[in-house]
A and B are shown apart, each in its own frame.
Chain A
Amino acid sequence: MLNQLALTYILAQENSGFELIPLLNQLISGVGIVGILLLTALGLAITFGVMGIINLAHGEFIMLGAYTTFLMQDLFQMDLLLTIPFAFVVTAAIGGLMELTIIRRLHGRPLETLLATWGLSIVLRGVIKLIFTAQLKYVRAPSYISGSLTVLTDGAGVPTVSISYYRLLIIGIAIALLLLTAYLLYGTGLGRQMRAVTQNRDMAKCLGINTNLVDMATFAYGCGLAGIAGTVISAIKTVSPPMGQDYLVDAWMVVVTGGVDKLIGTLAGAFVIGESNAAIAFFLNDPVARVIVLTAVIIIIRYRPEGLFTVQKRG
């Protein structure tokens, strides 16, 4: 009886040409992509959404975080997870300094900011290359996180659908940072000041908010988040000066798709882009999936510049 059922199930699968298990696998491992997208886009969502700054050097801050992790491991044999605060502090400090010297002076001129941050990204890449050479660096992932979690097993107990613990860690860290950021923005005094500055800079200034300090703190925090993303990514990719470039366009697409006002938009944007990429890649192939998703995002920007997941404001 059971055999009969299994046989019909296999036959049905062969006939339809559609395999559920591999698709499920693909979608579940897509969660890892969602995590990375969320991590890389979160910092941008802060700097762009709150401050309105087009930061093309965002990828380079990810790279700086990865190099901090590499340095910490190289010098002190530190555990990957322990290097996260260091990556945050280092990139936030550099970001704060950049805001003080460059970004601040270009306020209200988005296209100039865009150019300046692109110049900054070239400089950061060049300096890192001078210090560490262009050689690829490797970072050790913590040993206790290897292996994968089995979600489904077939009749014989062989795992069919599974997800590696590291991917779970990535999405975990991403969600944790999202919650932390949400708390910071909506639960603390500094966050209230940040939002006040976003909504009406001049009025906030009149009410005695130190807008300069708030700007610097916001930018530094955004860069610090990029640094954490760099640490997490460093364990799955090699660390090299141009590595940040790979994440820049994708992070931008997530922020723009999700909408710039609300943090939840970033989560939704990362989820939609990551999972649709995984699903299309399953039916076609990876490059085509990327092209389709990017085209879809362009169309979305065309019709909803303020993003898919924000409530439209009345003019």
Chain B
Amino acid sequence: MTQVLPGVQQPTFPRKLALVVGIGFLLFAIFPFLAGNFQTSLMAKLLLFSALAISLDLVWGFTGILSFAQGVFFTLGGYAMAYYLKLNLSADANTYGVALPDFMVWNGLEQLPWFIAPLQYFPLAMIAMVLIPAGFAYIIGWFIFHSRVSGVYITIITLAISSALTTFFVSQQAYTGGTNGITDVAPLSLFGAEIPLIGLYWMSLVFTTAVLIGTWWLTQSNFGLILRSIKENERRIAFLGYDIASYKIFIWTLSAGIAGIAGGLFVALNQFISPVYLAVAFGTQVVIWVAIGGRGTLIGPFAAALILGQVQNYAEQVTQDWQLIIGVLLLVVVLFIPNGLMSLVPKTLNFSQGTTKTASPDSSAGYLQAQLIDWITPLQNLAKASLKILRKNRSRR
């Protein structure tokens, strides 16, 4: 554990960590040369999902706010990018001329709505990609965190937000493209040059690395310490004079901004966005990555999103019932490995957890055993009781 002097935490430069991250980054950077186009684009997508998982880890793993709405922020950023790319389709690629996207024409719009029009300019679209999700998150955060709404109710609110927004986006067909979302967008180009797949991959890689390093730095600082204390004992940290609401709002907004950028890059890569990513199902997907990877570890959710995505890719070629496996995995993790798969990794290899926990008994084999015995005992009792009843009936006969 790092020495915590009164009010000051002095992190030493983590040489070992920097080395590992550097090697990892290089390996990821040369990956496209070794793999085909499909793998490259899949990997870029998974890297963005990893960044999304890390952003949820900030609010859930560190601050203790479980949110099913992370997919909402991802999608809002995605829509901002999708409008920009859709509005910048070249005239011959757009069936109905440059002025209006095809889905607006189908739904009888005559001219571009004023709130979408600014998104055709690159700088404005880029700002919107971050500011719309972050602003939305700020409003929600300001609304929720200043009240006595407790953890579970916040989660229910995020469920409602996700559900309401999905309904809204599906119903406003003329403006959002309805269920199909925004499809057939232009490829992303910078300074007049179209960015190839490998460029997008590198952009995703750099973004995800930046997010990983940035969040690591943030959570190792005093700020991170406060966040963790909010998670551990909110009331005590409030008594110490910290304004918890503003800390929560800040981290909530920040994570929404990160999710928004991930969504924007995702659209540049995948060339479409739809309300599927707004729905509760995708939001829980993100929650599952973080839960399985390990809350509050940053690297755990990162790895979980990456690995689960790759496994899913192969599993779906074999069986349709991939979701069942995920469900079982989630149950096993929640029941037996509450701190996620990261807690099984030996501590010497576990860099990012440096100051999170000193000695956690959860990772020991003995703990797992105890959990298993705990789980089996009631079942044994049930079996014994039913056997007893059976025997009684038999003797009566």
Chain A positions within 8 Å of B, measured between CB atoms, are: 54, 100-102, 104-106, 110-112, 114-116, 118-123, 125-127, 129-130, 245, 249, 252-253, 256, 285-288, 290-291, 294-295, 297-298, 301-303, 305
- Assess the B324–A297 pair: CB atoms within 8 A: no
Q: List 5 A-B contacts (CB under 8 A).
A: A54-B155, A116-B334, A120-B327, A122-B326, A291-B171
- Assess the B331–A297 pair: CB atoms within 8 A: no
- Assess the A122–B330 pair: CB atoms within 8 A: yes
**Contacts A112-B334, A256-B156; is A118 near B163 (CB within 8 Å)?**
no
- Assess the A291–B330 pair: CB atoms within 8 A: no
**Contacts A294-B163, A294-B164; is A256 near B153 (CB within 8 Å)?**
yes
**Contacts A101-B378, A122-B326; is A287 near B156 (CB within 8 Å)?**
no
Chain B positions within 8 Å of A, measured between CB atoms, are: 66, 143-144, 147-153, 155-157, 159-161, 163-164, 167-168, 170-171, 280-281, 284, 287-288, 291, 320-321, 323-324, 326-331, 334-335, 338, 374-375, 378-379, 382
A206 to B323, CA, bound (A): 43
- Assess the A123–B155 pair: CB atoms within 8 A: no
A123 to B52, CA, bound (A): 25
Minimal beta-carbon separation of B378 from chain A (angstroms): 5
A115 to B156, CA, bound (A): 13
- For B66, the chain A residues whose CB sits under 8 A away are 111, 114
- Assess the B160–A249 pair: CB atoms within 8 A: yes
**Contacts A287-B168, A287-B170; is A123 near B331 (CB within 8 Å)?**
yes
A249 to B281, CA, bound (A): 12
- Assess the B164–A305 pair: CB atoms within 8 A: no
- Assess the A249–B152 pair: CB atoms within 8 A: no
Partner among B320, B327, B335 whose Cβ is within 8 Å of the Cβ of A105? B335
- Assess the A252–B156 pair: CB atoms within 8 A: yes
A142 to B170, CA, bound (A): 35
**Contacts A101-B378, A285-B171, A294-B163; is A122 near B327 (CB within 8 Å)?**
yes
8 extra A-B contacts, CB within 8 A, seeds A106-B335, A111-B155, A129-B324: A101-B378, A111-B66, A115-B330, A116-B331, A116-B335, A256-B153, A291-B171, A305-B149
- Assess the A119–B331 pair: CB atoms within 8 A: yes
- For A302, the chain B residues whose CB sits under 8 A away are 143-144, 147, 149, 157
A294 to B291, CA, bound (A): 27
- Assess the B156–A123 pair: CB atoms within 8 A: no
For B168, B288, B331, which residue has the most chain A Cβ atoms within 10 angstroms? B331
- For B338, the chain A residues whose CB sits under 8 A away are 112
A90 to B155, CA, bound (A): 30
Minimal beta-carbon separation of B129 from chain A (angstroms): 24
Return the 8 tightest CB-CB contacts between A and B, nearest first: A126-B324, A122-B327, A287-B171, A119-B330, A294-B164, A123-B327, A119-B331, A249-B163
- For B323, the chain A residues whose CB sits under 8 A away are 122, 125-126
- Assess the A104–B171 pair: CB atoms within 8 A: no
- Assess the A100–B321 pair: CB atoms within 8 A: no
A105 to B379, CA, bound (A): 12
- Assess the B375–A101 pair: CB atoms within 8 A: yes
A286 to B159, CA, bound (A): 19
- Assess the B143–A130 pair: CB atoms within 8 A: no
Minimal beta-carbon separation of B62 from chain A (angstroms): 14
A253 to B160, CA, bound (A): 8
Q: Which residue of B lies closest to A249 (CB)?
A: B163
Partner among A100, A253, A301 whose Cβ is within 8 Å of the Cβ of B149? A301
Minimal beta-carbon separation of A312 from chain B (angstroms): 12
- For A123, the chain B residues whose CB sits under 8 A away are 324, 327-328, 331
**Contacts A119-B330, A122-B326, A298-B160; is A105 near B374 (CB within 8 Å)?**
yes
For B151, B281, B327, which residue has the most chain A Cβ atoms within 10 angstroms? B327
**Contacts A102-B335, A252-B159; is A122 near B164 (CB within 8 Å)?**
no
Minimal beta-carbon separation of A100 from chain B (angstroms): 5
Minimal beta-carbon separation of B175 from chain A (angstroms): 13
- Assess the A130–B321 pair: CB atoms within 8 A: yes
A119 to B292, CA, bound (A): 11
- For A100, the chain B residues whose CB sits under 8 A away are 378-379, 382
Minimal beta-carbon separation of B177 from chain A (angstroms): 15
Q: Which residue of B lies closest to A285 (CB)?
A: B171
**Contacts A122-B326, A127-B324, A294-B163; is A301 near B156 (CB within 8 Å)?**
yes
- For B148, the chain A residues whose CB sits under 8 A away are 305
- For A301, the chain B residues whose CB sits under 8 A away are 149, 153, 156-157, 160
A119 to B330, CA, bound (A): 5
- For A290, the chain B residues whose CB sits under 8 A away are 164, 167
Partner among B155, B161, B324 whose Cβ is within 8 Å of the Cβ of A298? B161
**Contacts A54-B152, A114-B155, A123-B328; is A291 near B168 (CB within 8 Å)?**
yes
- For A298, the chain B residues whose CB sits under 8 A away are 157, 160-161, 164
- For A288, the chain B residues whose CB sits under 8 A away are 168, 171
A303 to B287, CA, bound (A): 27
**Contacts A105-B375, A116-B335; is A291 near B167 (CB within 8 Å)?**
yes
Minimal beta-carbon separation of B59 from chain A (angstroms): 13
- For A256, the chain B residues whose CB sits under 8 A away are 153, 156
For A102, A119, A291, which residue has the most chain B Cβ atoms within 10 angstroms? A119
**Contacts A122-B326, A290-B164, A298-B160; is A305 near B287 (CB within 8 Å)?**
no
A299 to B161, CA, bound (A): 11
A122 to B324, CA, bound (A): 6
- Assess the B378–A104 pair: CB atoms within 8 A: yes
A54 to B170, CA, bound (A): 28
Q: Which residue of A lies closest to B171 (CB)?
A: A287
Q: Which residue of A lies closest to B331 (CB)?
A: A119
- Assess the B159–A126 pair: CB atoms within 8 A: no
Q: Which residue of A lies closest to B279 (CB)?
A: A245
- For A249, the chain B residues whose CB sits under 8 A away are 159-160, 163, 280
Q: Which residue of A lies closest to B330 (CB)?
A: A119
Minimal beta-carbon separation of A241 from chain B (angstroms): 10
- Assess the A126–B170 pair: CB atoms within 8 A: no
Minimal beta-carbon separation of A184 from chain B (angstroms): 23
- Assess the B159–A305 pair: CB atoms within 8 A: no
A215 to B160, CA, bound (A): 28
A116 to B327, CA, bound (A): 9
- For B321, the chain A residues whose CB sits under 8 A away are 126, 129-130
- For A122, the chain B residues whose CB sits under 8 A away are 323-324, 326-327, 330
A230 to B307, CA, bound (A): 37
